[in-house]
């Protein structure tokens, strides 16, 4: 089993940590609902939350599709993220930190929430990003996926009260951050992003 699959199966981020005594799953149990030939590609839980069967089924289908397609290497994805952020007026170090945290520049990454690709954009956010840029974006496409993520970041940076709040909004949702404050995992996410930015400046 490779590190990416182990992390996904256990709801871990590639840049996160494991600890002595922590139990890791090496196989996943089938998701509830209608059986699918793709059902074991993506786990159904993340950070203790179990996602609805239809969301996990869609995530597994997208994972199967991405597995069947040629995708850019991690190095190529880094170049795409940097260039796209520059073109769209977003600090490339921020966009690259988000991509690193979300997927490790692995465009085949799909989460149990059906967050897709390098920038880990869920379909509803992809629709919003399409409206922001004025054209239909295909989250499976590496370039469109990055455009979607960067467009969302740009919008959050314009709307949020601070850069930290914008980063938190990418993870938790800006409305939730404003209503509830940053959850503990969101605060960790923001700290990780800011630390990762230093690698890409």
DSSP at 153: H
Note whether 118 and 142 are within 8 A (CB).
Answer: yes
> How many angstroms separate the Cα of 118 from the Cα of each of 12, 14, 26, 178, 179?
16, 13, 24, 26, 28
Question: Under DSSP, is residue 29 helix (H, G, I), strand (E, B) or coil?
Answer: coil
Based on the residue annotation, tell me whether 127 is a catalytic residue of this protein. Answer: no
DSSP string, 70-88: ----HHHHHHHHHHHHHHH
Q: Which of 43, 56, 57, 102 is catalytic?
A: 102
Q: What angle do CA 100, 78, 96 make, to 5 degrees?
A: 45
Q: Is 184 exposed, middle or buried (0-12, 13-18, 19+ CB in 10 A)?
A: exposed
Catalytic positions, please?
Answer: 102
């Amino acid at each position: 089993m490779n590190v990416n699959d182990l992390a996904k199966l256990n709801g871990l981020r590639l840049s996160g940590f494991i600890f002595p005594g922590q139990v890791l799953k090496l196989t996943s149990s089938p998701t509830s609902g209608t059986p699918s030939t793709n059902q074991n590609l993506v786990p159904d839980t993340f950070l203790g939350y179990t996602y609805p069967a239809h969301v996990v089924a869609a995530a597994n289908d997208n994972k199967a599709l991405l597995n069947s397609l040629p995708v850019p290497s991690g190095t190529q994805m880094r170049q795409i993220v940097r260039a796209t952020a520059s073109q769209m007026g977003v600090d490339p170090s921020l966009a690259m930190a988000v991509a690193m945290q979300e997927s490790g520049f692995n465009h085949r990454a799909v989460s149990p929430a059906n967050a897709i690709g390098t920038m880990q954009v869920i379909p509803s956010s992809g629709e919003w990003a399409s409206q922001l840029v004025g054209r239909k974006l295909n989250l499976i496409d590496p370039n469109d996926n990055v455009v979607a993520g960067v467009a969302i970041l740009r919008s959050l940076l314009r709307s949020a009260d601070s850069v930290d709040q914008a980063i938190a909004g990418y993870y938790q949702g800006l409305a939730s951050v404003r209503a509830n404050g940053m959850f503990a995992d969101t605060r960790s996410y923001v700290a990780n992003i800011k630390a990762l930015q230093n690698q890409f400046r």
